[in-house]
Amino acid sequence: MTEGHDSGKRGWPLWEVFVRPRRGLAHQHVGSLHAPDAAMALRNARDVYTRRGEGVSIWVVPSSAIMANSPDEKDPFFDPAQDKVYRHPTFYDVPEGAKQL
Amino acid sequence: MYGNYDSGTASSPGGPHDQDAQQRFDRLIEADQRIEPRDWMPDAYRKTLIRQIAQHAHSEIIGMQPEGNWITRAPSLRRKAILIAKVQDEAGHGLYLYSATETLGIDREELLDRLHDGRQKYSSIFNYPTLNWADVGAIGWLVDGAAIMNQVPLCRCSYGPYARAMVRICKEESFHQRQGFDILHTLSHGTPGQKAMAQDAVNRYWWPSLMMFGPPDEESSHSAQSTAWGIKRFSNDELRQRFVDMTAPQAEVLGLSLPDDDLRWNAERGHYDFGAIDWDEFARVIRGDGPCNAERLRRRRQAHDDGEWVREAAQAYADKQAARQQAARQEARAS
Amino acid sequence: MSGVRTLPPLAAYALALGDDALILAQRLGEWVAHAPQIEEDLALANIALDLLGQARTLLSYAGEIEQAGRDEDDLAYLRDDRDFRNVQLVEIPNGDFAVTIARQLMFSAYQYELYTALLGSGDATLAGLAGKAVKEVAYHRDHAVQWVLRLGDGTDLSHARMQAGLDQVWPYTEELFDPASQLPGIAADPATLRPAWEQCVTSVLSEATLDKPEPRWRSRGGRDGLHTEHLGHLLSEMQHLHRTHPGATW
């Protein structure tokens, strides 16, 4: 998964974490963390979000991969069909040739 | 508290001026509803929140230093375990808060840059040293006590991700305060040497804890806007008074005195009266002239710099693995 | 105060395993607030806590068997370094992150085999502890493996540092498999732990593009109370406050 950024300076990519606290319940979004890849993201999520034994199942998803449609959250530039979770500059693929974005 | 004081943001609106969006935002705030990441929000609201939440996060991370200072010297294995767990929680709280800040459209690396170069601050209390074991107790009892006072109202802060992070944090925080109180109680009922240690810690941590609530209301210029936006629920002085009222009786249970000759119950007011805070000291410490400011930042920067080769290696490995998987897929398709 | 030489064999065994865990927990505690990433502060603290928990169980048990009235804190804080029975591997300084991770891989891989073997111990306390600990150390080992792979097969710089860390730590691994006290059916025979350990470590190093070191020396004597010069300093720091207030409760 490439973000096109200088990893040393920009840091590891952002992942959203979902935890199912108990069998029978659905996964719930609990927050985000930075990790270099999925394997580390899962392990970090276990350490950060399930320290007190909460969590039967953990999902991690690159934040940039999540498509959102939240019509209730009104934003003049919001694309109603599909958009990103946050207005985060690194989530958007920079078009070829666009330099100072 | 960690950002309760002077946040220093401009209150003039920037960004796109959309009447409907502003009205919608105002209605949500009025109805005590949550603002979520994709909502339109005034630029100043966004900036204020970024600063406040990030400074709260920085406080948790920097706070790991004074307490971490005693992990290797904890006087019993049980206390060592509890302290490691506490400091670990603080790292976790910092992460929840960086996570909440990032929903506002800013990167953690940028926030760390601002911490490292002094553009963003952290709670002044962590610029004081932990000189004896009892300081660990004092931090739990007083500092975490003050933090809880501020954090419970923040669970109803107008910005959704911040409020939710605070709910998580509050659940974990009550254990911290109780542990601090327990350490001090054991000390104050122990040997004369232990009791003296506890009293010494409280003598040094009391006033700085009161300063954690920020300057007096009349000097807090940006509080009005933060209150209007549902970020700040109670004034500095209100929270400070509540803290004194809660803590003074606890000191009696501990059998320790608080270093304030003017501290006494005022039946008429229904509150404790307390002495004058040295606001010059507060200003000095905020400015960088506290006992540990330079050291805290130096160590933080060093940890970050020393870790760069590790972070780069992890990213390089991830990139290599991705490339290998890509190559393997192409090969599979070609065959 | 009695030296460890006079301890009943089972107590001496529990103490040795407990000292391993205690000293390594102490070393990991030193990383708090300056790990390479905040997420790693959490992970290392997590490992330290698990090891400290194992140490407390083992030290308490040793004290119980000894029946000289020593509890976990008496054993941790009032013994001198000649009475500690940990292997030297766990007492070496943290160094950089690569040294720490190399040490972690070697030790956690060993603990995994150790606790797996102890699941079948005739001693209920040891078997019970093993049941819990084997899951913990499986995670510690996995954590170390993930980092060895990333540092070994990351950048040129990380590769060099990881190899250097490995080279530094390797001479201390032989000691893990030296013959221990004879407690058939109760203790795990260290020599039997070696093949699986070797297989795990060798395959990780290979995948991480690292060379298996060929050391010209090996550490000796930890289990007999002969340590490196580092342990004395570690214990000074760890024990000082407790010793300053004899008889106090904390």
Among the listed residues B214, C202, C51, the one whose alpha carbon sits nearest the alpha carbon of residue C59: C51
The CATH number assigned to the domain holding C23 equals: 1.20.1260.10
Per-residue pLDDT, C167: 98
Is C134 a member of any domain?
A: yes
B84:C158 CB<8 A: no
pLDDT tens-digit profile, chain B (335 residues): 333 333 333 333 444 557 888 999 999 999 999 999 989 999 999 999 999 999 999 999 999 999 999 999 999 999 999 999 999 999 999 999 999 999 999 999 999 999 999 999 999 999 999 999 999 999 999 999 999 998 999 999 999 999 999 999 998 888 899 999 999 999 999 999 999 999 999 999 999 999 999 999 988 777 888 888 988 889 999 999 999 999 999 999 999 999 999 999 999 999 999 999 999 999 999 999 999 999 999 999 999 999 999 999 999 999 999 999 999 999 999 87
Is C81 a member of any domain?
A: yes
The CATH number assigned to the domain holding A18 equals: 3.10.20.520
Sorted by sequence, the CB contacts under 8 Å of residue C79 that are 6+ apart come out as C1, C4
Backbone φ and ψ for C22, nearest 5 degrees, come out as -65, -50
Is A9 a member of any domain?
A: no
Is A84 a member of any domain?
A: no
Domain count along chain A: 1
Domain that holds residue A53: 14-68
Is A54 a member of any domain?
A: yes
Please state the length of chain B: 335
Is C150 a member of any domain?
A: yes
B38:A88 CB<8 A: no
Q: Which of A88, A90, A91, A92 to mutate to test the interface with B (most CBs of B within 10 A)?
A: A88
d(CA A65, CA A79): 16
Is C249 a member of any domain?
A: no
What pLDDT digit, counting tens, does each position of A39-80 carry? 999 999 999 998 766 668 999 999 999 988 877 777 766 666
pTM of this prediction? 0.93
- How far apart are the CA of B275 and the nearest CA of chain A, in angstroms? 41
Domain count along chain C: 1
DSSP string covering B78-130, please? Answer: HHHHHHHHHHHHHHHHHHHHHHHHHTTT--HHHHHHHHHTTSS---GGGGS--
Looking at chain B, which subunits does it touch, using at least 3 CB pairs closer than 8 Å as the criterion?
A, C
Question: Which chain C residues have a beta carbon less than 8 Å from that of A44?
Answer: 39, 42-43
B105:A2 CB<8 A: no
Domain that holds residue C212: 4-244
Distances B333 to B319, B322, B324, B329 between C-alpha atoms, Å? 21, 17, 14, 6
Bridge partners (DSSP) of residue B266 are: B271
d(CA C221, CA C12): 15
d(CA B103, CA B54): 12
C146:A34 CB<8 A: no
Q: Which of C155, C204, C233, C240 to mutate to test the interface with B (most CBs of B within 10 A)?
A: C155
Nearest to B108 among A2, A31, A34 (CB): A34
The ipTM estimated for the assembled molecules is 0.97
Question: Which chain B residues have a beta carbon less than 8 Å from that of C157?
Answer: 309, 312-313
Is C166 a member of any domain?
A: yes
A35:C39 CB<8 A: yes
Backbone φ and ψ for B159, nearest 5 degrees, come out as -90, 115
Question: Which chain A residues have a beta carbon less than 8 Å from that of C49?
Answer: none
Is A29 a member of any domain?
A: yes
Bridge partners (DSSP) of residue B264 are: B273
Per-residue pLDDT, B6: 33
Say if residues B59 and B126 touch (Cβ distance below 8 Å): yes
